[in-house]
Chain A
């Protein structure tokens, strides 16, 4: 495929591009679902194509094509140049790329079992077994399960000499049980809602998740929620489980630190950010305990944001985002690094596929675990009166990322260090920095999970990207609970 990329690079250079890069990408995916005892959908998909990104006259052009014949590839490169010239008609200043040593490299997601080698029969059998467990609970009216496998092979070459071949593999699985009765629909999901857990791993993830073992409990909790009391409304200390905290990090740290948002590039759709550049290394984002990193390196874990190189050839890095509560870093790219005084990109530019322009995306934005040993049960035991919230049900945040509201599938009221009752429809809301400054306890490493968010939407045309978020259960003091249901 490298020769395809070089055809495009040559044409871009001949037509006047001062910089160009080419990505040739082959994606393969398998999706299997079941619904209440039947296979819901079964599909395999492949998508192959190439794209050219070119700077001409100080402005960007991008073109993509599924055709990989020489004529089509050269025409696509010429189109990227033509588009760049059109862009230059409405520009204020030339694009400036931070320097980057051209990498020549090969990188692959480490895995034990290639998920595409596991038979479809075995996968369907697993999903139907989970489904049967869920529906064995009286009162379950709908059961849904899913398995997803993705492979993306990419050849990246640039006019600066970068030559990177990278293959990423991801696996996802999850299920949900619904109970409809009276005027109420309740739901429980495992291991997380909206598709379960996803990581850059092979089929070994499926074996680690203990899917079947947890199905009956999940079904029983969905039914039990009908008999639970409504979550009380007021100010409470809350404990978030690690999956909900992962989404909280995604929405109220991960998005605000995207430098393209901060600079106004996403203002029309995703929005901007309250984290204006003057706040860097000045804003107290959270309490002293809050340490957040954006870490794309494999040593952080097999997150959906783990890779060898980003989609403009910059090696994976770890950027401190919040250090002992102080805001210390953004997610940046070669084009934006100079705006925060950096002379190198943070390596976060990624594209959904061959036909999309890479843009700043979260890597693995994670809250580091507490250093002192602390289990969830110990954290509960140390809480006088509070609410434990588990598994996201709804999420919403304003377009500058100040005001958020989350709903969870299930809550537990804690009194005197003990869970005293299940509560339904728990929700909480707040203002981002006030919330993170109220954090006073984080569980330790053995409670820490690197969650995958497979469905992060951003950009125009919108691109869906997988991101990673490590979190351990944590406690926040004096948070507004239940406003969503206040009449």
Chain B
């Protein structure tokens, strides 16, 4: 694993090779290993180590970036040359700001990351997981499958990674993190169940429990019957919630407003969702993971995006904030300041909140309580292949998958064939009847979040598939 000291040496070498007005160097990568299983056997088992260095050069308002994964002198010379020759032929960008120093990027720049406000996300036990330990974990999962006469497929992965940034104005940031992830599908003859969890600390993961829950879903959804498409009360488990709501957070960006591609255009400050919806972006939240600084090294701030259904504001990279302050939108978008959510420059998208936390409600309900209070509805384990159908009403389509159940008179009545939905996120988040306590959750369509399960009325299922 690349250390901060080694990265600092690489940065010094790059700085000496650079002829630009400014230079910025990003480091990323680490070690990653994944054991994959299917048909109750390990069929793929991989490991890799890779680090990438990228150099951004600036000449008189012109900037560009080049990447390499080679750290020898000639490769560094070449990557600097590539970045500089690309930068020199750009048109000057009036919006390009000088690189931030440690003071303007927040924090002292010398303080180690994680800072006291960000919990440690590096765990030695996770970093040290061996192929044998992952195989033993898989063996337990396969054992559960065999006990229930099911077939299982999934992954058990572990990683340790670094993110670092150094620039010629003296800023240096470094973040190390570990992560472990288990995802399990249990397959019956005509049904399936799924569970997935991840954490920086492998001790938080319980493969047996995940396997048992996934298996139970497969067993309970066997012999699915077809019920007609239509509007149903749905109980979305947290993975289903995060996968669908994740599609709106690209729009919570100053650049998206300036580009007029955000569904929040003209809607900031208005009540767009139900009173019970409050959403933050908070990289320091104890259930969150990831890097506490952005693509320019600016520390990520906690930002209130939605408060009691009212869209409060969006996030900003440094240059986007400056542009917004000069724009026609400036009086209609709430607070405007760099919030530490920018992507590495240069880029077209600007910024995005990526540490989403849904606020807990005063009277949380468990999924069991939601089921018990439902006269007629559908319990959804996960959603799949979600795509945007219409961007301004944020209408999305997708499928249910791996455990879809009919609920009637407060009880689960067995599995049903999977549905296609076409549903507006604005409509959905205005119809949330109850929520569970938010939990760290992961899916496949969006990034990890701290989200609750939700009971939503009038969710629009438009078609039924064949299984």
State the interface size on chain B (CB cutoff 8 A): 94
Q: Which of A4-12, A55-63, A106-114, A376-384 contacts B (4 or more CB under 8 A)?
A: A55-63
- The reply to whether A396 and B153 contact each other, CB–CB distance below 8 Å, is no
Cβ contact within 8 Å between B51 and A90: no
A183 at interface (Cβ–Cβ under 8 A)?
yes
Q: Across the interface, which residues of B come within 8 angstroms of A141, CB to CB?
A: 259-260
CB of A43 within 8 A of CB of B259, answer: no
Contact among A33, A44, A427 for B348, CB-based, below 8 A? A33
**For the complex, is B119 an interface residue (Cβ under 8 Å from A)?**
no
Comparing A80-88, A167-175, A441-449, the segment that makes contact with chain B is: A80-88
| Contact string against A for B residues 15-48, beta-carbon threshold 8 Å, 1 for contact and 0 otherwise | 0000000000000000011111111111111111
Whether B422 sits at the interface, judged by CB under 8 Å, is: yes
Contact: A90 with B389, CB < 8 Å?
no
**Residue in contact with A355 in the complex, picked from B48, B65, B85, B401, CB distance below 8 Å:** B48
Given A90-B41, A90-B42, residue A82 in contact with residue B154 (CB < 8 A)? no
Chain A residue, CB-CB nearest to B267: A183
- Verify A267–B91 contact, CB threshold 8 A: no
For A268, give its contact among B48, B49, B184, B418 (CB under 8 Å): B184
* B47 with A83: CB separation less than 8 A: yes
Min distance, Cβ B32 to any Cβ of chain A, angstroms: 7
A-B contact count (CB 8 A): 274
With a cutoff of 8 Å between Cβ atoms, the chain B residues found around residue A476 in the complex are none
Q: Is the CB of B395 within 8 A of A43?
A: no
B261 interface contact, C-beta 8 A: yes
**B397 contacts the other chain (CB 8 A):** yes
When distances are taken between beta carbons in the complex, the residues of chain B under 8 Å from A266 are 38, 153
Find residues 27-46 in chain A having any chain B CB closer than 8 Å to their own CB.
Answer: 33, 35-36, 38-46
Contact A263 B346 (CB under 8 A): no
Interface string of A390-424 (1 = CB under 8 A from B): 00011111111011010100000000000000000
B384 touches A49 (CB 8 A): no
B369 within 8 Å of A (CB atoms) = no
Are the C-beta atoms of A144 and B463 separated by less than 8 Å?
no
Q: Which residue of A39, A85, A87, A267 is within 8 Å of B38 (Cβ)?
A: A267
Does B45 contact A84, Cβ atoms closer than 8 Å? yes
Report the interface size for chain A: residues with CB under 8 A from the other chain.
84
B120 within 8 A of A: no
Kindly state whether residue A282 has any CB partner on chain B within 8 Å. no
Give the residues from 61 to 104 in chain B that come closer than 8 angstroms, CB to CB, to chain A: 64-70, 75, 78-79, 82-83, 85-87, 89-91, 93
Given A41-B346, A83-B46, are A264 and B69 neighbors across the interface (CB < 8 Å)? no
- Flag whether A47 is at the interface (Cβ < 8 A): yes
Cα A402 to Cα B69 in complex, Å, equals: 41
Contact partners of B66 in chain A: CB under 8 A: 43-45
Q: A35-B348, A90-B139 are in contact. List 18 more A-B contacts (CB 8 A).
A: A40-B347, A42-B87, A43-B66, A49-B69, A65-B48, A83-B45, A87-B135, A89-B132, A90-B142, A120-B85, A178-B259, A183-B393, A263-B39, A268-B36, A355-B50, A396-B386, A400-B466, A405-B420
Q: Which 5 A-B pairs have the closest CB atoms?
A: A40-B348, A86-B131, A45-B67, A403-B465, A267-B153
A-B contact pairs, 13 of them (CB 8 A): A42-B64, A42-B65, A63-B47, A91-B42, A93-B41, A144-B348, A264-B39, A271-B384, A355-B48, A394-B389, A405-B422, A461-B32, A461-B46
